[in-house]
Structure 1
Amino acid sequence: MFEEELDDSSVLDVLDKQIVHGLVTDARIPFARLGAILGVSEQTVARRYRSLRSRGMIHVAGQVNTVPLGQPRWVMRITSTPAKAVALAESLARLPELSWVSLLTSGFEIMCAGRTRSIERRDELLLRMIPRASSVVGLTVHEVMRQFPFPEEWPRYDRFFTAEQLRELGPRPPMWEPAGPETQVTLSREDEAMMAILARDGRAPYARLAAATGWSATRVARRMSELVEYGVLYFDLDFALQLMGYTCRAVLWMRVDPARLEEVGKAISEHSEVAYLAAITGPTNLTASLVCRDNAHLYRYVTERLGALPGIRDIEVATALRVFKQSQTLVDAQKLAVLP
């Protein structure tokens, strides 16, 4: 029943969905290789991708995971004065360290995720800049203790592939549990230049990255692979959710029995509605971001799926009145707009 709820979009056809899943699995997969897997030409894949991007449907971005850099991720809940909530959210969306900026229905509350490269910048944001804003009347910061991996990344289009095609695509690199290295990673000036371009275009050609760094294209490719292996660099896709037929986005804050937190987290990670799931510090210890067709779908999910899980003591549900920013893209009239 719930899989069917997320399977009736008329905006993307099967080939579009296959291309999207190929990019979710490997954001920089050569179009020739993806076309060979799908049984279509390289030109067809490239044309479909350009169309999806030009319509503001998807955006591929290189992201920095600050955990291997020694800085945790966190989630903020900011309460604003009603008259200034939109202006505050728009300002927060312009900060490169913040993502997933949304105005929620829970009393003019803005939720956003944050990651900073240094303690100094973290303190500047959390202790000075945001608290001192005249429109801020409340601030709660939750540190992310564990981001739960999914058996299949959202929007979970595995079903449009054969088993052989999935084997050819290979697994997606796990950003949330990086494998190496034991020592803290230090980024060079060239690394920063490369990742600044990738943040705007995750599929930027190696030649363009080489020109920005002064390295050869071969060295750029090798360094990019190293940073992905270290867990510092990962690639993510933003989607124009409403254009895809998903009219309801919601955030859940849950109190779960500590002894069952891992069990509950793993169970919820299997749910197709869940786009993000993390164990956090604070008065609630588990948060989830949901993508649903409509409020009726959200209600069935909360009552039937979450309600059946033992160990959840309490759930707070807040829907998004408006989404201002996803990972690296602003949302403009329901379409994605890349930050300058």
Structure 2
Amino acid sequence: MVDTLDFQIINALQIHPRVSWAQLGRILRVDPSTISRRWSALTGRRQVWTSCSEGEAPHLREQMISALVEISCAPGRREQVLGELGPQGPVSSVHCTSGPRDLYIMISTDSLLSMDRYIDERIAVIPGILGTRTHYLRKIFFEGSSWRLKTLSKEQVMALHDLRPSDPPKRPTPAHRAVVTALHADARRTAADMQRELGRSLSMISRDIDAVLAASWVNWRVDFAHALMGWPAAAALWLAVEPLELERVVASLRLLNQVRLCASVTGDANLAAFLWLRNLQELDEIENRLTTVFPKVRVKDRWIVPRIAKRAGHILDLDGRHLRLVPLGHHPVFED
């Protein structure tokens, strides 16, 4: 069983993924050995995992193309399809869902042409897939790496932010990229453990870890098996929002801690929101609240998500526990 302290530890690492247990103990007023023991238990049960990856600089991020692809499977072939989709780097997430589609996946490539080719040549041809439907993401307003548990006080959050390095490097160096790679599957890996792999001094490795902690082009994630820890349901809402109201609706959704990702999309709906829920009744409450505040907003569709098979590159088991990490593709998927 997980309790309030477990969630506080996870929340703290979402803010500062490499805070020391001694530092965190002072903030939470808990013995550091207790924190260490709790973290070891959570990761040992594969209920919590961390990762570190190189993202795109802001000006390059806008050039990436992302899409959500609906997939219809032949009866009885879904598991086989999941097995083929999981190892693919450009496929960041895979969800089992309701309605006329069996799955939906998130893909990122370097261009519209690459996306079109990838879906046609790498996805649609998988045995067991009957059809696909693509929704391009026009703008991602916020996503899972920025989501927080919100179990800490404002003072505790500020204390953690104050401990984070604040001097980002102007641009990534080969040494920085080597550190990110070394931390890829474990964001809390020690500098001593990395030393033999990197062949550099502890002080140099520690300095570069601080540098990448402050860098905007590095993605740090602390994820957990949500279905086992209080969020047994998930859903996607597809909304039709008038352009002049879009920013206000997004700001309202940002205040709902159930919303993990929000993006403008192409299609009949122009805004999609992806949620974790304590129960399905929460979805009714959110819809009612949203359409009461914004009477012109129309809910075009709603998908229930009973299972997430891959999230942000991490392959998950039936219970949502971590199995392994597949490095996400950041390079062109077609060299020609």
Question: TM-score normalised to the size of structure 2?
Answer: 0.81
Q: CA deviation at 1:21?
A: 1.2
Match of 2:73 among 68, 77, 81: 81
Match of 1:47 in 2: 37
Match of 1:168 among 155, 159, 164: 159
Note closer, same or farther for the CA distance 1:88–1:307 as it changes in structure 2 (3 Å cut). farther
Match of 2:83 in 1: 90
Q: Give the aligned residue type for 1:145.
A: K
What CA distance in whole angstroms lies between the structure 1 residues aligned with 2:296 and 2:51? 36
Is the 8 Å Cα contact of residues 248 and 298 (structure 1) preserved in structure 2? no
What CA distance in whole angstroms lies between the structure 2 residues aligned with 1:117 and 1:126? 13
Q: CA deviation at 1:268?
A: 0.7
**Superposition pairs for residues 190-269 of structure 1, below 5 Å?**
191-269=176-254
What CA distance in whole angstroms lies between the structure 2 residues aligned with 1:40 and 1:216? 32
The secondary structure found in structure 1 opposite 2:247 is: helix
The secondary structure found in structure 2 opposite 1:12 is: coil
Note closer, same or farther for the CA distance 1:316–1:147 as it changes in structure 2 (3 Å cut). same
What CA distance in whole angstroms lies between the structure 1 residues aligned with 2:119 and 2:311? 20
Once the two structures are superposed, residues 259-299 of structure 1 have per-residue CA deviations (whole angstroms, 9 ceiling, x without a partner) of 11111101110012112222334443222111111222222
Match of 2:148 in 1: 154
Is the 8 Å Cα contact of residues 233 and 306 (structure 2) preserved in structure 1? no
Q: CA deviation at 1:100?
A: 2.7
The secondary structure found in structure 2 opposite 1:199 is: coil
Note closer, same or farther for the CA distance 1:78–1:64 as it changes in structure 2 (3 Å cut). farther
Is the 8 Å Cα contact of residues 19 and 163 (structure 2) preserved in structure 1? no
Once the two structures are superposed, residues 193-227 of structure 1 have per-residue CA deviations (whole angstroms, 9 ceiling, x without a partner) of 43344231111112333433333333334444444
1:22 aligns with 2:7: no
Note closer, same or farther for the CA distance 1:115–1:191 as it changes in structure 2 (3 Å cut). farther
The secondary structure found in structure 2 opposite 1:200 is: coil
Once the two structures are superposed, residues 37-95 of structure 1 have per-residue CA deviations (whole angstroms, 9 ceiling, x without a partner) of 11122211111111111122211111332354555251322322232233222322222
What CA distance in whole angstroms lies between the structure 2 residues aligned with 1:334 and 1:307? 35
Note closer, same or farther for the CA distance 1:75–1:229 as it changes in structure 2 (3 Å cut). farther
**Superposition pairs for residues 262-281 of structure 1, below 5 Å?**
262-281=247-266
Q: CA RMSD in A?
A: 3.1
Match of 2:23 in 1: 33
What CA distance in whole angstroms lies between the structure 1 residues aligned with 2:162 and 2:301? 34
What CA distance in whole angstroms lies between the structure 1 residues aligned with 2:82 and 2:318? 15
Note closer, same or farther for the CA distance 1:209–1:285 as it changes in structure 2 (3 Å cut). farther
**How many residues end up aligned between the 2 structures?**
317
Gaps of 5+ in 2: 326-336
Note closer, same or farther for the CA distance 1:119–1:64 as it changes in structure 2 (3 Å cut). farther
Note closer, same or farther for the CA distance 1:107–1:196 as it changes in structure 2 (3 Å cut). farther
Q: CA deviation at 1:140?
A: 0.1
Is the 8 Å Cα contact of residues 307 and 318 (structure 2) preserved in structure 1? no
What CA distance in whole angstroms lies between the structure 1 residues aligned with 2:6 and 2:102? 35
Q: Give the aligned residue type for 1:156.
A: K
1:12 aligns with 2:5: no
Note closer, same or farther for the CA distance 1:197–1:286 as it changes in structure 2 (3 Å cut). farther
Is the 8 Å Cα contact of residues 66 and 136 (structure 2) preserved in structure 1? yes
Is the 8 Å Cα contact of residues 102 and 111 (structure 1) preserved in structure 2? yes
The secondary structure found in structure 1 opposite 2:240 is: strand
The secondary structure found in structure 2 opposite 1:284 is: coil
What CA distance in whole angstroms lies between the structure 2 residues aligned with 1:34 and 1:46? 10
Note closer, same or farther for the CA distance 1:306–1:32 as it changes in structure 2 (3 Å cut). farther
1:60 aligns with 2:50: yes
Note closer, same or farther for the CA distance 1:305–1:264 as it changes in structure 2 (3 Å cut). closer
Q: Give the aligned residue type for 1:21.
A: N
